[in-house]
Chains A and B, each alone.
Chain A
């Protein structure tokens, strides 16, 4: 049975809201109609911190959380209870984004498990940069959502492997 768009949207929406409310003291707002547009060649791309974690089990997939760099710094300060404008080292931001990713993907996978798609988390990782573009592999459905708060935001990019029964060979 394929996972519906509404189950993915509701599950990630609740996960992001729950993590931000509990850990940052504020829930972000889902921006409707958002589309992830790959940068043009040579286009200046704002620096981003990306947290990534996978799910594996009766459903397999990978979730990327793109944090605008300023927003990643802002989240780290809120998480650690620091004053606005306090300088936080990159290593602290990476650790904080990694933990927020782990919590968000954990809450997302618990929602999927509760809906009958039992799965487990993989180890999370962090990617930093600006000029990169994450493309889905063949046989993966992509679900992209944008959440905003405090003048910044994060984008969740969810790749879920399509059901094996619907697979066709990509090779002639």
Chain B
């Protein structure tokens, strides 16, 4: 796989939704349930993109983001934040400090794909039964007002 997307969220439901939304695209989805696991996964798998929940137990998204930025080997990985706390000052600060996108919960699959495809040029998976016909269509998603990018 050319691309790896790391989804860091304490909700299995959200991680499942992310995995399902990206299932049609040529990317591997890796999961972590909190910031500490997410950091370990980032080191181990060097993802192309991190989808990062803000409020999580053990290590929250704000702390994980800060640690990513402090590690020169990880600081270039683009991070998109997912949160229901989009109007809080800490999240606004992260958007100013280098987060590549913000997805406000609740979000639709279109919102998610818009955020991902604004950073990664994800090719679609070849349809089953048609080996060799590699579709290179970029993830098609309308840019919705629910996704904002700083």
Which A positions have Cβ atoms within 8 angstroms of B? Answer: 18-19, 22-23, 76, 79-81, 92, 95-96, 98-99, 102-103, 105-107, 110, 113-114, 120-121, 123
Contacts of A96 in B (CB 8 A): 13
- Measured CA separation A95–B84 after assembly (Å): 16
Question: Which residues of B119-147 have CB atoms within 8 Å of chain A's CB atoms?
Answer: 146
Total count of chain B residues near the partner, CB < 8 A? 20
Contacts of A107 in B (CB 8 A): 84, 106
Are the CB atoms of B108 and A22 closer together than 8 Å? Answer: yes
Minimum CB–CB distance for B41 against chain A, Å: 20
Q: Would you call the interface of chain B mostly helix, strand, loop, or mixed?
A: loop
- Measured CA separation A19–B13 after assembly (Å): 14
Minimum CB–CB distance for B128 against chain A, Å: 18
**With A81-B20, A121-B55, A121-B85 given, is the CB distance from A22 to B12 under 8 Å?**
no
Are the CB atoms of B84 and A103 closer together than 8 Å? Answer: yes
- When C-beta atoms are compared, the residue in chain B nearest to A113 turns out to be B87
> Is B107 located at the chain interface by the 8 A CB criterion?
yes
Minimum CB–CB distance for B13 against chain A, Å: 5
Are the CB atoms of B107 and A22 closer together than 8 Å? Answer: yes
Are the CB atoms of A106 and B13 closer together than 8 Å? Answer: no
Are the CB atoms of B87 and A95 closer together than 8 Å? Answer: no
- Measured CA separation A105–B106 after assembly (Å): 11
- When C-beta atoms are compared, the residue in chain A nearest to B9 turns out to be A99
**With A95-B13, A121-B55 given, is the CB distance from A102 to B105 under 8 Å?**
yes
- Measured CA separation A99–B146 after assembly (Å): 18
- Measured CA separation A95–B15 after assembly (Å): 11
> Is B16 located at the chain interface by the 8 A CB criterion?
yes
Are the CB atoms of A106 and B11 closer together than 8 Å? Answer: no
7 chain-A/chain-B pairs, Cβ below 8 angstroms: A22-B107, A22-B111, A92-B13, A99-B11, A102-B11, A107-B106, A110-B86
